[in-house]
Amino acid sequence: MTSLKRIGRIKFGLLAPKEIRRMSVVKVITADTYDDDGFPIDMGLMDQRLGVIDPGLRCKTCGNRPGACPGHMGHIELAAPVVHVGYTKLIKKILLSICKGENCGRVKLTEKEKKEFLNRMEEFRENDRPITPIVEEMFKTSAKVMECPHCGEEQIEIKFEKPTSYYEGDHKLMPAEIRKRFEKIPDEDIPLFGMDVNVARPEWMMLRVLPVPPVTARPSITLESGQRSEDDLTHKLVDILRINQRFQENREAGAPQLIIEDLLELLQYHVTTFFDNAVSGVPSARHRSGRPLKTLSQRLKGKEGRFRGSLSGKRVNFSARTVISPEPNLSINEVGVPKAIAEELTLPVVVTERNIEEMRECVRRGPKHPGANYLRRIDGRRIKITEQNAEEVAETIEYGCRVDRHLKDGDIVLFNRQPSLHRMSIMAHRVKVMPHRTFRINPAVCPPYNADFDGDEMNLHVCQTEEARAEALLLMDVQRNILSPRFGGPIIGGIHDLITGMYILTRRGKMFDENSALELLRKTDIRKLPEPAELIDGVPYWNGKQIFSQILPPGLNLTFNAKICYNCDKCRGVDCERDAYVVIRDSQLLHGVMDEAAVGAFKGKVLDRVVKEYPNETARKFIDDMSHLAIRSIMSEGFSFGIDDEDIPKDAKIQIDEAVELANQKIHKLVDAYENDELEPLPGRSLDETLEMKIMQELGRARDETGRTAERFMGKDNSAVVMAVSGARGSMLNLTQMAACVGQQSVRGERIHRGYIGRTLPHFRRNDLGADAHGFVASSYKTGLNPTEFFFHAIGGREGLVDTAVRTSKSGYFQRRMINALQDLEVKYDGTVRETHGGLVQFMYGEDGVDPSKSDYGKAVNVKRIVEAVVGDEKGAGRV
């Protein structure tokens, strides 16, 4: 094996013509590729010295067969120099800074100025600072000089015209002329351009020799019809060679200047597009089919380019992808894997004394589930295990063999959902092989992946080595990632039905007999119930709070306000009529309900406390038990939502209509006041703005009023209300819109004004400022919208749609840039943040040195909690 070497430094320079010729194995002169027999033509673009790709041939340079031959560079001698597109701006700057004099060609600076610039560059280099600003300043200074300080030559203004033309006054500078000028620049002036004479001379930016990439870099493919199809690069090179040849012939034949110039232009075009086919101002070179050619720069640039597509990212083996679906009976650190996938994905196991029988059984089962797909014997031979040879192969198994056995329960795999925006987007799960064709996950782990089950697909990767498994378990295990480093709270926890289930279970007045109580706790390992809360006719009953308390880890004390809390002016504490005051003493839920504020992802306080004060394993168990209990609770109770849940009584309807009518009247009054110039403008607003604001306020009030009415009439047992108040899904606003009144539609935060002159639609009178004419939707979704309302609703809806589309793409690119800028920063052991060279970025991480994932919602310590823990909280006064 060759020894590993460290790269000390990298120097960038220009490719010298000499260098190009030196590394070339063949001078390409003919534009033809193959002869009539399909054999590569000598000195053509497919010359066999450039490397071989056709099987059976041998490279004439290195003698290797296809695959082994790395390919060799060739070159084309251009009949006239052309500009390299990558350097057009630098060429312009240099042109402007040097003297045009016949015998001069020096940079237009006095010796003193020159020395000063060079000294400053040297000083900056020593301090590891970029010299670019000095170079830019030098170009600026020297370009202004219109009389050469060395030879006194009068200078003429030079203009650069995109993409590749330079004009000195009215005269067009040919690349050959520019080259001549650059050749005259003395070596000691070159460092002024920020270049190193040893690796770069300015005239090398004018190409006279073009390197030809080896055949292996532009392989042709043989179509089914036997026809050859050449690579885009080859096509481009053919174009260059053809024009080069024609240019040469015409020049030798003494063709008119005009034709020569045209041909040179054409040669320039082909060389330009050979490098980059997306230069602005240059029409892109196209294939016969009209598809733009993929030339050098296109191969490297962008998402699918060589860097991002082939080097930073690759396709991998031992991975699977399918649709996900929920399975609350799984633990949060498990993933249900379809049997079909488990039979395909394998894990290498070396046969030892301890596992030989187990492995033999695997091999014997062959391709049937807990089996094996391949056996690698000690001699290195790999045998595919099929149903036919399974028995036979199983007999040959011995110590040291490697069996590629199927995935089975308990194996560690990585589970990922794109876009992988934070580290919790990839976590380690334990396999649970299951029937059917989807990956199954506990819905409590949806938030970190940002997954739902409307068709989302996820990827799974099997750890292949013991080290990989150990690392995955230590760093990426689900229970180690319950707390998000983003805000220092739990990111895994109850969502939707889990919250509803918990809420229904722990509400006041739920009683269960022994059978149903134990049924609820079936999936947990609790088999003993506490003292019953009540005895009715000698039969013991337990309440929901007691049942929930069984899954709490021992020794938990907590007091907080539930999500359903109304934030009354005077809190009645444990006597809260809505049961929103939660008290947990010694792991017994004494008062209050479990809702989003208790067990929800992001906000769950009980969850938060359990995760922070108990081991990971306990926290995992709690979330598992919680989801099992919640799902059983919601199933035994039954929970559904239908269109009739939006029904409201006639009285309510009348009240809602009255509220809308009242708002309309108020708006009329406002408009009248406005038209009679009686309206007082608000500070800093014009009269029109004041009116608009007041109308908007009035309409908002109207909608809220109707919402309250609807809420009052729907009652707190309505399933939509239950979901909204417990924080499971939806809001009271959503309910209002469904049952009472959709409300004002807006564009950019204002009422809708666009449309025709003085009105939004022809259905209204001109200059009508009323509610209906500017997008107020008085109907509810249930009653349905009238045509104008529907149209306004579509306008408002479209804005929201466009907004989200724009936001996601903008923020995605912004995040990419942030990651690229920050990826090498590291928090060192002394708490400082440094970049790769040890340069300090922050003297203390986050200025306080706190790891947010170990913090309490961003704060280093939760003082109240500590005080409570030490002093005790007998009266339930302290709250977290």
Partner 1 sequence: MKKKDIDVLKHELVPEHVVMDDKEAERIMREYMVSKAQLPKIKESDSAAKQIGAKSGDIIKVIRKSQTADRFVSYRITIK
Interface residues with partner 1 (CB under 8 A)?
Answer: 127-129, 830, 832, 834, 837-844, 846-848, 850
Radius of gyration of the chain measured on its C-alpha atoms: 38
Please give the Cα distance from 126 to 191 (Å, whole number): 15
Q: How does DSSP assign 565-615, residue by residue?
A: ----SS--GGG-TT--EEEEETTEEEES--SHHHHBTTT-HHHHHHHHHS-
Min dist CB 702 to partner 1, Å, is 40
Pick the closer one to partner 1 by CB: 141 or 616. 141
First to last CA, the chain: 62
Pick the closer one to partner 1 by CB: 783 or 832. 832
Q: How far apart, in Å, are the Cα atoms of 752 and each of 659, 680, 693, 749, 769?
A: 22, 23, 13, 9, 11
Q: Residue 104 gets which letter from DSSP? A: -
Pick the closer one to partner 1 by CB: 642 or 838. 838
Bond prior to 40 in cis (omega within 30° of 0): no
Please give the Cα distance from 37 to 226 (Å, whole number): 12
Pick the closer one to partner 1 by CB: 9 or 528. 9
Min dist CB 849 to partner 1, Å, is 8
Question: Tokens 């079909």 correspond to what residue?
Answer: 340
Min dist CB 819 to partner 1, Å, is 22
Per the structure block, which two tokens stand in for 373? 């797909």
Pick the closer one to partner 1 by CB: 36 or 847. 847
Pick the closer one to partner 1 by CB: 574 or 833. 833
Min dist CB 831 to partner 1, Å, is 10
Pick the closer one to partner 1 by CB: 119 or 809. 119
Bond prior to 787 in cis (omega within 30° of 0): no
Per the structure block, which two tokens stand in for 854? 């170990």
Min dist CB 853 to partner 1, Å, is 15
Residues in the chain: 880
Pick the closer one to partner 1 by CB: 677 or 830. 830
Min dist CB 846 to partner 1, Å, is 6
Min dist CB 864 to partner 1, Å, is 19
Is the distance from CB of 72 to CB of 52 less than 8 angstroms?
no
Is the distance from CB of 345 to CB of 320 less than 8 angstroms?
yes
| Phi/psi of residue 354, nearest 5 degrees | -80, -25
Q: What is the largest CA-CA distance in the chain?
A: 121
Pick the closer one to partner 1 by CB: 113 or 471. 113
Pick the closer one to partner 1 by CB: 134 or 598. 134
Pick the closer one to partner 1 by CB: 39 or 843. 843
Pick the closer one to partner 1 by CB: 125 or 287. 125
Is the distance from CB of 385 to CB of 391 less than 8 angstroms?
no
Pick the closer one to partner 1 by CB: 733 or 861. 861
Please give the Cα distance from 363 to 370 (Å, whole number): 9
Q: How does DSSP assign 696-754, residue by residue?
A: HHHHHHHHHHHHHHHHHHH-TTSHHHHHHHHTSS--HHHHHHHHT--EE-EETTEE---
Q: Which residues contact 363 (CB under 8 A, 6 or more apart)?
A: 371, 372, 375, 385, 390, 393, 394, 397, 403
Min dist CB 838 to partner 1, Å, is 5
Min dist CB 667 to partner 1, Å, is 44
Min dist CB 111 to partner 1, Å, is 23
Under DSSP, is residue 252 helix (H, G, I), strand (E, B) or coil? Answer: helix
Min dist CB 684 to partner 1, Å, is 24
Q: How far apart, in Å, are the Cα atoms of 852 and each of 453, 479, 603, 806, 822?
A: 30, 17, 16, 30, 18
- CA dihedral (100, 101, 106, 108) positive or negative: negative
Is the distance from CB of 432 to CB of 335 less than 8 angstroms?
yes
Per the structure block, which two tokens stand in for 573? 């504490």
Pick the closer one to partner 1 by CB: 391 or 826. 826
Q: Which residues contact 641 (CB under 8 A, 6 or more apart)?
A: 719, 720, 723
Min dist CB 825 to partner 1, Å, is 13
Min dist CB 120 to partner 1, Å, is 9
Min dist CB 489 to partner 1, Å, is 17
Is the distance from CB of 724 to CB of 731 less than 8 angstroms?
yes
Per-residue 3-state assignment (H helix, E strand, C coil) for 792-827: HHHHHHHHHHHHHHHHHHHHHHHHHHHHHHHCCCEE
Q: Are strands 558-561 and 534-536 parallel, antiparallel or unpaired?
A: unpaired
Pick the closer one to partner 1 by CB: 120 or 180. 120
- CA dihedral (634, 636, 642, 647) positive or negative: negative
Please give the Cα distance from 596 to 502 (Å, whole number): 9
Min dist CB 828 to partner 1, Å, is 10
Min dist CB 127 to partner 1, Å, is 6
Min dist CB 128 to partner 1, Å, is 6
Pick the closer one to partner 1 by CB: 9 or 837. 837
Pick the closer one to partner 1 by CB: 176 or 844. 844
User: How many other C-beta atoms are found inside a 10 Å radius of the C-beta of residue 423?
Assistant: 15
Is the distance from CB of 189 to CB of 15 less than 8 angstroms?
no
Min dist CB 604 to partner 1, Å, is 25
Pick the closer one to partner 1 by CB: 127 or 388. 127
Instruction: Using CA atoms of 237, 238, 244, 247 in order, give the dihedral in degrees to the nearest 10.
Output: -140
β-bridge partners, 664: none
* Cα 208 to chain centroid, rounded: 44
